[in-house]
Amino acid sequence: MDKNAKIYVAGHTGMVGSAIVRKLESDGFHNLILRTRNELNLLDQDAVMKFYKETSPEYVFIAAARVGGIYANNTLRAEFIYENLQIQNNLIHLSYESGVKKLLFLGSSCIYPRNAPQPMKEEYLLTGVLEPTNEPYALAKIAGIKMCESYYNQFACQFFAVMPTNAYGPNDNYDLKTSHALPALMRKIHEAKVSGAKEVTVWGSGKPTREFIHVDDIADACIFVMDKDFSQFYEQGLTHLNVGTGSETSIEGLAGLLSETVGYQGNIKYDNSKPDGVPHKVMDLGRIDKLGWKHKIDLEDGLALVYTSFVDNYDNHKFSENSIFEKKRK
């Protein structure tokens, strides 16, 4: 990408989108196109069409999505599939109609079957049953991958997808009912330390393993991949590239690391009545490794950085646990 290129980052206020913006700006890209949710409703195709006509972006990063942890995914199933399909359909199709040079779609490792062999290779997509608790979200992300592939096959569009594993970092969501495991645990353990609580309860058995990657590494990988010719991937039969660290950590192990980071000395209790989700999830990174990309931030260092930011901004976090569940239908 030329430093003067017009680059649209959809979802720039979110955790991944804001990291992409930081990386682009640090690399000298200065012609970024950014819109908040209030400025541009990505669910509204007419509004998105008008935006594309007015701005004519050359490159598009799709980091906008409706996201959340197990509870939110399993409770708001209709909203998760509808909103994610609508957002990506509008952006991908109108990128084609507007002549966008290249587009990178960000998916999620939840696209893989619940019991996929570990580590998960790109070709395991659509080879088995998905994890039920986040199936609507996963199906939407799979549709996004296939939409990019279809627009390449029919129209030769340079549209491609990357699949990051579990992200964490600045601008994360710490709402206990909608957040992912890591930020929820960080908040619980921090508040237990501050209040002097002797025990923290964690959902599930603590046995499932996850692969955590700092969001700055995801941003670095996205810009790295965007600079490649996407045709080479499709010619190899690839529809997406995995992005991760290659290291897995159990939820129990994560709770231990967070306790050390926070300085909490109480007990961790596991609530086996709550779902675990996918039992194991670690990426095969062979293909992106061969391209020359590797993560830079180890989990222990990343947790220390994020916790410092969390504490510094604690009073500014909006913990509106019940807000999204009080939405009334008209």
Which residue among the candidates 8, 59, 137, 174 is catalytic per the annotation? 137
Phi and psi based region of residue 175 (left: phi greater than 0; alpha: psi -120 to 50; beta: remaining)? beta
Nearest to 159 by CA among 167, 151, 168, 171: 151
Distance CA 264, CA 192 (A): 8
The encoded tokens of residue 130 equal 């998905």
The verdict on whether 137 is a catalytic residue reads: yes
- Quick check: 175 and 119 in contact, CB under 8 A? no
Distance CA 177, CA 189 (A): 16
Distance CA 72, CA 61 (A): 25
Q: What angle do CA 190, 247, 231 make, to 5 degrees?
A: 120
- Quick check: 109 and 120 in contact, CB under 8 A? yes
Distance CA 55, CA 3 (A): 17
Q: Which residues are catalytic?
A: 137
